[in-house]
Amino acid sequence: MNFEINNVGIVEKSVLRRYLQYLRLERSYTDNTLDAYIKDLQKLLNYYSDEGIDYRQVTLEQLDQFAGTLRDLGVSPRSTARILSGVRSFYRFLSLEKEIPTDPTELLESPQIGKHLPEVLSLEEIDRIEGVIDVSKPEGQRDRAVIEMLYSCGLRVSELCNLKISDLYLEEGFIRVHGKGRKERLVPVGRKAIEELRTWFVARQSIRVKPGEEDYVFVSTKRGRHMSRISLFIFIKQYAQKANIQKNISPHTFRHSFATHLLEGGANLRAIQAMLGHEDISTTEIYMHIDRSHLREEILEHHPRNLKK
């Protein structure tokens, strides 16, 4: 059985031939299993090609970003776990062959596979998390704005980290989001999120932002570069613990809470799908069947942040 793989310039053909031989002879894998491993490895190589990553110098953070990208693309936890299993196999082989000094996948975690529903935070719990943030510091102002944007706009982690100032239309009440598959969508943004953003922009003026990073909305207060997925995961875990939230939450929890709260409030399901940028609704369908002003009405009418007390 012949196996073809693109982007072979990233990994030498001799390495790939030896890896296939290793899987076939030492692991006794069948042709079908070999084909699956190669297809999964192709996903990693495509990611390396897009990101300009040297496979011999890859870090755990970069591998975590790859895993996060799979989730953002809608790959199921089970499929993600299978792909990461193949990634570990490849790097174990490279380590055995002395192609790399250490195996970067040793601490790489796979998603939990189960039938339980994702955690949902109540509005009171979200307020508790925001309440423990020290807003006397610039990073505190930033972190409140981050959490509010995740919850009020239902953004993916990658979408938030890559959000640009040039993508904000705050006077009109919209932001432009660059989603998976390089598709763009307009997402309504509510009053509370706009307030937090403007407060953050005042604090942001005191930060020395690195050249080329000026257009990113959220930047590190120490490094001056746009925020990474890992740093965002870390500080949300810390704030949740400080707020005594017992649920196992991540940045994605705020996105799921956004959708759940809108559904519970009676929002139109198709409007929610469009705002989330789910892949089963194309960009064309969004603009043909759902009026932008109606999207804004849905979020203003049904999101808890906008309900009159």
Of 174, 170, 169, 196, nearest in space to 187 by CA: 174
Q: Pick the catalytic residue from 142, 156, 185, 229.
A: 156
DSSP 24: I
Note if 242 is an active site residue: no
Q: Pick the catalytic residue from 78, 287, 289, 294.
A: 287
Q: Pick the catalytic residue from 24, 164, 180, 292.
A: 180
Note if 261 is an active site residue: no
Q: Pick the catalytic residue from 226, 255, 256, 296.
A: 255
Q: Pick the catalytic residue from 39, 56, 278, 289.
A: 278
Would you report the helix, strand and coil content of the chain in percent, each value rounded to 5? 60, 5, 35
Note if 156 is an active site residue: yes
Helix (H, G, I), strand (E, B) or coil at 136: coil
The residue to which tokens 């199921």 are assigned = 76
Give me the DSSP letters along 241-302: HHTT--S---HHHHHHHHHHHHHHTT--HHHHHHHHT-TTS-HHHHHHHS-HHHHHHHHHHH
Residue 103 to residues 47, 76, 84, Cα–Cα distance (Å):
19, 25, 14
The answer to whether 193 touches 254, Cβ cutoff 8 Å, is no
Q: Pick the catalytic residue from 142, 229, 252, 296.
A: 252
Token pair of 250, please?
Answer: 């991540």
Note if 302 is an active site residue: no
Catalytic residues: 156, 180, 252, 255, 278, 287
